[in-house]
Structures are given as C-alpha cells and as structure tokens.
Structure 1
Amino acid sequence: MTRYSGNSQADDYLPAKPESSGSDAVKLDSQESITHRNASLFMPDWKDVETFRRDVQFLNQEGFIHNAQTFKPKLTSESIVILVQVHNRPDQLQILIDSFHKMRYINETLVIFSHDFYSQDLFDVIAKIDFCPYMQIFYPYAIQVYNSQFPGTDPNDCPRNLQKDESRKRKCNNAEYQDFYGQYRGAPYTQIKHHFLWKLQFIFENCSLFRTFEGLIFRIEEDYYLAEDTIDYMRKLDRQARIQCPEFKMYIMGEYSGYSHEEYKSSATRKDRWYIGIGTGMAFRKYIWKLFKECAKSFCLFDDYNWDWSLMHVAATCIRGGFKILKPKGSRARFKSEFRVESSHSGLDATIQQSLDSIGDTSRQEPPGTVHVQANDVFRHHNKIAILFASIFVIKRCQLPGLHQLFKVDEGLSAQILCVAVFALLGCVLNDHMVDLS
C-alpha cells in the first residue's frame, strides 16, 4: 500500500481505526496528525494482485473518515449519507464535488467514495475536500487489477462480438456462453453491475460504522450534479413521507433531462413506482436493502450487465408491488452526461458550463419551506408510464425455450406470443396496485 503522493509507507501514517460508541456517534482514535484534510490518502497497490488484496482488505476494514475531527459526523436515523460510485473520470468527479461544496448542510453529511479504479488524478481531486467528512471504500475485484484473469478479461476469453461458430473453432474459454443478445461477456461492462451490488453489500452488511445505521443512503455516480438544497429538501421530504405515506421508502431526486426553474420552486412531490428511466439519484434506508437482498439471486443471474435492467427484473418478478417512490417535481439531481461532458484541465466547454451555471442559479433561489406530497389522482398517468416501461422490459427480455415447438411456429413468434400474454397480465397487475399509491 502506498500513499497517493508516492511517498513510502510508514506505520506512523496508517489510518486510525474507528470505534463505535452506540448507533449515533462516529469516533476515531486520538491520532490527530492523520485526521486533518492534508493527511495523505492511501491508494491500494493495484499493480500486484496479492498486495492489492491485502491493501483493500485493510483499508475497507479501517473505515477511516477524513476531516472527522473538524466536522465530527454523527450517524443517526435522521442522517443522510451520500454514496458515490466512482470509476475513472476525474474531471466529472471534480464537477460533482464542486456541487457538494455549494450544498447546504454538507458539513453535516458523510460522503463515501466507492472506487473501482486507482489513479493519482482521482485521488488528487478527492484529497482537496475540506468542507465535509468523507471516506473511501475500495471494490476488491477491480478489472484494472485483474487485467488478465477473471473477473477481468482472460487472454483466452472470446471477443465480445465474435460469432459462436468462430468461437468454437478458436476454443476460447466461454465459447458456449453468449448472453441473450448473442454477445460474450465484456469485463468493463459487467464490472459496473458487480460494483453496484458490492458497495451496497459492503455498506449494509460489512462496514461496522453502518451496522446499526437507520438513516438514508443517497446513491449517485461521479457524473451527477446536485442542487444546493438537495440535502435540505431530502430531509424535509423524508420527515413528511414518514408521517404522511410511510410505505414510500425510496426517493428519486432528479431527472435524466430537462430542468425547470419554476418546477424547482414548487414544493410538490409525486408518488410513483420505480422503473427504468424515472430519474436519477436514489435514496433509501436499510429496509430497501433487506427487500433487495432476498432477491439477490434474481439480480445476479439475470442475463444483463446493466444494474438498472437487472433491478427492474427484481422489481417486476420478486418484490411484491415493486418499489414505491417519491420524486420531487423540481429536480435536485442532474445527470451530467446529458451535456456530453468532455472536459480537460483547461476547463469545461462553454455550453456545458452555461448549463451547470443555470442549475446553480436556480439552486440559489429560496427553496420551498415545506414539502407537499401530491394526491394520487394527480399523477395516475405516471403509473401508465410505469406500465409502459415495464411492458417494454418484458417484451425486451421474455423468452421460453421450447415454446415454438409447442405451438409449431418459429422461435421468434413464440416469444411474441409469450410477450403478449405477459404484457396483458402485467397491465392488470399494475392497474390493480394503483390504489396502493394513495
């Protein structure tokens, strides 16, 4: 293990081990010299697999919180913890952190960066944070490390788009195992889904700091941008939801596209069900994780490398009624890829910067003092959208080997027959559940 600055390791610089004194407090050992923001960050040695394993195990077990002595974070049932999935886009990560810096109550909020790539550029960006407590966790199966073996790409793995006949001739490792789309496993794609699941498993099951944590985990990615009142709004939304509609246990805080100044000023929050494309920024408590954990096998075995399609499969087939969500009418989380962000050290493209400034200008307006959850009838049409997305999901993925033989039709037509039947059933089921949204 090395310090990210490149200096050699010394025992005196090792992170302090956190201690727990009840469910609310987060404490560190009294080694003051390593708790200030200018203490060197530790980056696992990714060039050697065995060393990397030891480094990651140590760092993940330590759970070192930076800036803890300055901000003294507490983890209560009212707390919000921001969980960021980070890959290798330091410029976009910098934009996200800049938005953090402007957020109200960020000094009271623990931010966790979950890494699956290791570079000094990334660590340089994070090391500058001096306005909130933060910690880093490290995905232990990074393909950057396992670059010539599973879960990375083995030299004898079949190329992603190679035809099966040619793969059999080559006798590559996974010649018989194409996915639903006729492609072979691509390690960079599958890592995203694996990392998504690992970080939630680690936070809710393996990290001692969160074993009794009952607050909100706000899951985002490095290419997001958050409004200044995101934490404030989420707190108000959570308080109102627990009184008015406690069965709604997930919040979606933003849109993939479109940002309205007028909608931002609205206090309205709508009820809905989670489906692919409904929005960005997912906040939930351990209750949702427990539901999801019961369906983990369904998630893992679903033949798609996208975590959101896999989660849609879980919501449609394993969790009764799916995920009930609340979503602000005015977006608090923005997906920066909408702007096609391609920045460099010389700065952002002017159009992109103008769009981000627009979000900032909106955020600086006076936010709503209270949050109002809209009546169900107002948003009944959104459930029709949910049905449409769920139906597209079924049509995209439904298949049943041998059905074409039963009906004496070709295989493609058999899939269509099944899809129509499931589509009709799904529509009935979701319509029956609409009353549950009131």
Structure 2
Amino acid sequence: MRCRVHKRKVLLLMLLFAAIAVATWSVLRERSLHSYQDPSFLFTNLAGKVKASGSRLARNISRANNSAEELKHFVYTANLAQTLYNEKRFPQRPNDGVIVVVATGSSPELLRITIESLHSARGISDVLLVLSHDRVSAELDTLARSVDFCQLIRIYFPFSLQLYPNDFPGPDPAGCPRDATHEDAQKMRCINAQFPDRHGHYREAAFTQAKHHWWWTLNFVWSRLRANTGNNGLVLFLDEAQAVLPDFLPTLHLMRVVQSGVAAPDVFCLGIRESSTNGPGPASALFAGAADAADTASWQSSRHAAGLAITRHAYELLRSCTQEFCSYDDYNWDWSFQQVSATCLAHPLIVMVLRAPRVLHSADCGAPAGEVCNAARARERLEAVSSGASRYLFPDTVRVVQVHYPIAVHPPAVNGGWADPRDHELCRRMPDLH
C-alpha cells in the first residue's frame, strides 16, 4: 500500500508546530518580562510546599545531586527555623553581645582559617556567630559543624546562582550577553536590551549576586533574626577571606566605650582594606605605638569596608536609603554604601577605625605577583602577623588620635554592572523578604 501524503495536512501540521513554538517562546518571554512590572512573580511562597522535604534534605545534604527545587525547600526551611546550635553549651549571651556574621562563598579553605582565628579569640564564647551561605555543600556543612566555641546560626541566601541556575536572579537565558552592543541586543530582542550599564555592558549574575547577598544578609540579621531581637550590641560583618586577631572583641568593646567622648561614630572598622600588614616590615612595626590608636572619619569603601561593625541605628539609616542603594549602578555593595553615605543621609556616616587592624585579609598573604595565595601560605602569613603583634595586643584603652568631621566623599568611579531593573526591584524588596 502506498502512503499518500496530503500537502494540506502537512501544511496544517507545520502551522500547528509553529504556533506551539511561538506560544512557548511567548510564555517564557512574558514570564521574564513580567518580572519587570511585577517582580513578586519571582518570589513564590514555598510555605505550602516545604513539608518534610526540607528536613529530608538536611539529613542528606552531602548528596551531590539535589535538585534546585529541593535546595530551595531546604533553604526556606533553614531560614525559617534559624536553628541555634551549641545552645546547651552556651545557654546565655550578654544583651549587648556582639554578633559576628561571616559571608561564605567559594573558598572553604579560607573559611577554615577564619573559623580557626575566631576560635582563638578572647571572649568568643559570648558571641553569636552567623554563617551566611550563598550555596549549600557538604564541605561547608562539615566546616560549620566544627564550630563548638560559641552559639551558631546558619542562614542561606535564597536567591543564589545555585538555586536559580537558569533563571533570574541567576543567569537568564533570555538575557543579553554581557558584551553585546545596544544595537545587537535590540536585534536579539533579549529582555534587558534597553538596560545596559553606564559602560555599555549587560548584567552578569556572578557579579550581581555579591551585592544582593550582602544586602539580604544585612537586612535578615537586623530585621528577621529572632536571636537579635532587642539586642543593643554591634553586628560585625566579615567574609570568608578575613581572619581576626585574638583581641578583636575586647578592642571593639573599648572603641564603644570611648565613643562618647568624640564625634559619635555610626559604624566601627577593625580592618584595613589595603592591609599594610603585608608590607616588607614586621608586624611589630605597625602595632608598636598604634595598637591602642583610632581615628574618626567619613566612611570610605577603600579604607573602611573590612571588619565593619554596625549599630542598629546605623542599620535603620541604611534601610531608609534602600532606594539609593538599590538603584546605584555599581555591583559592589561597599561602593554603593559609600554613595548612600555621601548623598542620601542627613550627614555622611562617621566611622571609628583602628590604626592597627584586628581584622586581616587572609587572601593577602604576601604571595609574589602571579602566584596563587593558597591556604597554607595564608595561614603562615597570619600566624606571623599575630606573633609579631602579640606583645601589643589587649590594650587597656583605645585613644582617639584624630577626629575628622564628616564630609561627603563620593566613590571615585562608578563600576556599573547594576542597571537591570529586576536587580533594582529584588534589592528594594530585600528588607521585607523572608
């Protein structure tokens, strides 16, 4: 029997498949475009979906093949539960106790050094340590379980690339390539074609995540962390590449004691961004005569972002400038922070900063140019600094040497990478998102 092909039927089938393809593309495009007008489309309430999946994943977190949806359920559950570890061993903390927040990313070995340095700090048992993860992994889980020297809470950034590998806020297949020209982007009809940054580039999720993660962590710790309710103490923000010296807590306390006698600082800084501890001279040269010295000044990203301790009042000031922070075209949280200080507040933020830092960059380990700073080299360098400075640590008081009254200091440049309206809207919603 011969198979008869009817041209009319073939044509109808081709039209049907074409219509289905166009409809599918339109739905996906509309889904992405919809987020510009109503970003709540992104923020699906997982409460009714969690059930037992979160606890089940917690028991199987070492599995490598957890789906993004399973991880979302786990993250939602963990952030809602806010499990307090080591509470039996450390049942009480001071009402004005310090909360130390460490943002973790892609360097577990550097995080290990940070945890070791915290373990060696005097007074650490009075601290609540918060690890803010931007991914779920067995290696990070093992590191977190090694914390047995203070109370611990683990939180998870709920809009990470790991949870959204193929969709905003992660890499969006419908988005424009970073280096596409505006003309090419319009021809491609990618959804953010009208929103290149000031340098003509389009968003890169790997860069935007850092600012989102910091802003989400800041708001979560101050607004939604139950263990911080009614707390009058400071929140100290570190990242996984920053380690502390043994007297960082007593010195921070002395800084708060002395603040009443000078232009009252809004924030405190325990580190130096371009750490002079990695210069050719011994650490003792930096600490001799300066271990108890501090200055006050207008906050600047290049000098005051490392080891930043924030009061509740300062947080409320920053939150009041959410619009400015979230719309400023710079993917760096600290440059955006400086812009807020210079333009949004009634007066620029005043920082009290130590001349001899108590927070060091473990990644700044003195490696020759072009060589990787591995964990072993970083640990050796930190031990050398700590040993050289040891005789000068634990001062009896902190003295304010110079008082610089606040002037608006704008960022020296605008780095871009933050022009997509979806990033702006997600950022603006962070203070209210769980």
TM-score by length of 2: 0.74
Q: Displacement, 1:277?
A: 0.7
Asked if the contact 1:92/1:223 (under 8 Å) is kept, the reply is yes
- Is the CA contact 1:240–1:371 (under 8 Å) kept in the aligned structure 2? yes
Distance 1:298 1:391, change over 3 A: closer
Q: Residue 74 of structure 1 is aligned with which of 76, 85, 93?
A: 93
Q: Cα gap change, 1:41/1:288 in structure 2, threshold over 3 Å: closer, same or farther? A: farther
Which residue identity is paired with 2:395? P
Going from structure 1 to structure 2, the CA distance change for 1:283 and 1:44 (only over 3 Å counts) comes to farther
Q: Which residue of 1 aligns with 2:287?
A: 264
Residue deviations 1:62-108 (CA, integer Å, cap 9, x gap): 2112111112241412x111011111210110111111121111122
Higher RCO structure, 1 or 2 (CA under 8 Å, sep 6+): 2
Q: 1:391 to 1:150 in 2, by over 3 A?
A: closer
Q: Write out per-residue CA displacement over residues 29-86 of structure 1, whole angstroms, 9 at most, x where no aligned residue.
A: xxxxxxxxxxx79689994344333322221122112111112241412x11101111
| CA separation of 1:56 and 1:239: change in aligned 2, threshold 3 A | same
Shift in Å, 1:137 = 0.6
| Alignment partner of 2:388 out of 357, 362, 365 | 362
Are residues 1:334 and 2:360 paired?
A: yes
Is the contact made by 1:44 and 1:56 (CA closer than 8 Å) also made in structure 2?
A: no
Instruction: Look up the equivalent residue of 1:169 and give its one-letter code.
Output: K
CA distance in 2, matches of 1:44, 1:272: 49
SS state at 1:277 partner: helix
1:234 offset after TM fit, Å?
Answer: 0.5
Whichever residue aligns with residue 396 of structure 2, its letter is G
Tell me which of 210, 217, 223 is aligned to 2:228: 210
Distance 1:209 1:10, change over 3 A: closer
> Equivalent residues in 2 for 1:209-358 (5 A)?
209-241=227-259, 243-245=260-262, 247-256=264-273, 257-259=275-277, 260-265=283-288, 266=290, 267-279=292-304, 280-339=306-365, 342=372, 348-349=376-377, 352-358=378-384
Q: What residue is the counterpart of 1:59 in the other structure?
A: 78
Query: Structure 2: which amino acid aligns with 1:356?
Result: L
CA distance in 1, matches of 2:127, 2:62: 23
Whichever residue aligns with residue 376 of structure 2, its letter is L
Q: Which runs of 5+ in 2 are unaligned?
A: 1-51, 278-282, 417-434
Shift of residue 323, structure 1, vs aligned partner: 0.7
**Residue pair 2:338, 2:411 contacting (<8 A) in 1 also:** no
Amino acid at match of 1:348: A
Q: Secondary structure at the match of 2:307?
A: strand
Aligned to 2:19: none
- Counterpart contact for 2:53–2:74, Cα < 8 Å: no
Aligned residues of 1:248 and 1:326 also touching (Cα < 8 A): yes
Q: 1:189: how far off?
A: 0.5
CA distance in 2, matches of 1:391, 1:168: 32
Query: 1:331 & 1:67 partners in 2: Cα distance?
Result: 29
Alignment root-mean-square deviation, CA: 2.8
CA distance in 2: counterparts of 1:107 and 1:264, whole angstroms: 26
Give distance in 2, aligned partners of 1:115 and 1:122: 8
Per-residue CA distance 1:215-243 (angstroms, 9 max, x = gap): 100011110011111111101111221x3
- SS of the residue corresponding to residue 360 of structure 2 reads strand
Q: Does 1:109 align with 2:127?
A: yes
CA distance in 1, matches of 2:327, 2:198: 12
**Contact 2:222/2:228 (<8 A) preserved:** yes
Is the Cα–Cα contact under 8 Å of residues 189 and 305 in structure 1 kept in the other structure? yes
Q: Hey, what does 1:414 align to over in structure 2?
A: none
**Structure-2 change in CA distance of 1:122 and 1:163 (3 Å):** same
Q: Deviations over 1:167-196 (max 9, x none)?
A: 222222222211111110000110110111
Tell me which structure has the larger Cα radius of gyration. Answer: 2
SS of the aligned residue for 2:209 comes to helix
Report what 1:392 is aligned to: 412
Change (3 A) 1:14 1:212: farther
Report the residue type matching 2:317 in the other structure: L
Structure 1: give runs of 5+ residues left out of the alignment: 1-7, 16-39, 398-438
* 1:304-332 deviation digits (Å, cap 9, x = unpaired): 11111111111111012211011111111
